[in-house]
Structure 1
């Protein structure tokens, strides 16, 4: 069973839940669902200790995953998770609804590496693209 992690910003929680639920329904295992963390859901990450604990869980989840889904727009945490996934040679699905990741003024060099599969369109199309991918294990 393939394992996945979804990284994004707080403002994309519903999209993260959509992708996670649909991947789980297709038989994938979610390594950590940060959207279920009550403190995040309530916007009450007021303690540095809580932030550290969440960060440790997220690092572990990226490490345990076979692939990582990045939903843009993302915040600084999203991009740190992208860096961790790249450093661990994970397969990455980078999602941008409108394809803005190809806008030279807004993009990142890391979005265009071979480990990164750029995805556009609807979240349903993203999930279907992931499920259709024949080789989700590290190729690098």
Structure 2
């Protein structure tokens, strides 16, 4: 079964945990759970977490980015794009289609956008990934 990683901001930690558990319950393998971390308080913490998160993205078959997300999530999006990974971008309000505020990279073919509820996202991911496997 496919391996996955979920990126988002600390403010959406509970949503990320929900997504992680849902996908694990469906048989997917989670590469790293950053929600178990506290915010880094030293440069050594940042370095250690950075290694773990980078490796988790590289090890994954697909990543999910839950918006709004900060710079760390966008760096992981860039790593995934550079590695040719499948990316699911979740924007509950469809803000990614606001031309004035969107990112160029949200509209690449490797990025599959999802709007609405988190359940809409999970249905899309599981349908596509089950068909892929």
What TM bracket, shorter-length normalisation? over 0.9
Of residues 128, 131, 135 in structure 1, which corresponds to 2:132?
135
Alignment of 1:1-140 (within 5 A): 1-37=1-37, 40=38, 43=39, 45-133=40-128, 134-135=131-132
**1:108-129 CA distance string (max 9 Å, x none):** 0000000000001111111111
Task: Provide the TM-score with structure 2 as the length reference.
Answer: 0.96
Deviation at 1:46, TM superposition (A): 1.0
Q: Matches of 1:76 and 1:108 in 2, distance apart?
A: 13
Give unpaired runs (5+ residues) of structure 2: none
User: How many equivalent residue pairs?
Assistant: 131
RMSD: 0.9
Task: Provide the TM-score with structure 1 as the length reference.
Answer: 0.91
Q: Matches of 2:81 and 2:33 in 1, distance apart?
A: 20
Q: Secondary structure at 2:41's aligned position in 1?
A: coil
Give unpaired runs (5+ residues) of structure 1: none
Dislocated runs of 4+, deviation >4 Å: none
Q: Secondary structure at 2:112's aligned position in 1?
A: strand
Deviation at 1:135, TM superposition (A): 2.9
Deviation at 1:36, TM superposition (A): 1.1
